[in-house]
Amino acid sequence: MADNCIFCRIIKGEIPSTKVYEDENVIAFKDINPAAPVHVLVVPKQHIDSLEALNEENIQVVAPVHKAIQEVAKITGVAEQGYRVIVNCGPGAGQTVMHLHYHVLGGVKMGEKIL
Ligand code: AMP
Ligand code: ZN
């Protein structure tokens, strides 16, 4: 847990969020500024700054996150039609919250290109 991290504070319940899914390792909540009809952030409860900070010691957070993404897709109704998962890694890629998180986007027909 990092005291000044907004996602750690959401995990602790200090800041409200619209929770979509939670288990012992992962929390998922609606993005406050959605870029698509479905826009959920899937966040490991362990504070890890970014994908670049993954290492042998903490890599085990990734598998439960991917399982949680499947659950979120089911819960939000986009599992069948498809969805996009984005991880911004570092400020140069637009990461604004330095706690590893996966954007799950869907509910709209998406183009084939990322950018
Ligand atoms: P990123 O730019 O990849 O770091 O994504 C951070 C995301 O967190 C942005 O899409 C924000 O809209 C979202 N966000 C920031 N604060 C909150 C919050 N309190 N509740 C939900 N989403 C948030
Ligand atoms: Zn954090």
What is the secondary structure of 23-90 as a DSSP string? -SSEEEEE-SS-SSSEEEEEEESS----GGG--TTTGGGHHHHHHHHHHHHHHHT-TTT-EEEE---S
Ligand 1: centre distance to CA 34 (Å): 9
**Residue 59: which pLDDT band, with cuts at 50, 70 and 90?**
very high
Ligand 2: centre distance to CA 45 (Å): 8
pTM over 0.95: yes
Does 3.90.1570.10 match the CATH number of domain 6-106? no
Catalytic, 47? Answer no
Residue 83: the pLDDT is 97
How far is Cα 54 from Cα 68, in angstroms, rounded to an integer? 18
Which amino acids bring their CB within 6 angstroms of ligand 1? 6, 15, 17, 29, 31-33, 41, 88, 94-97
The model's pLDDT over 69-88, given as tens digits with 9 standing for 90+, comes to 999 999 999 999 999 999 99
Question: Domain limits of the chain?
Answer: 6-106
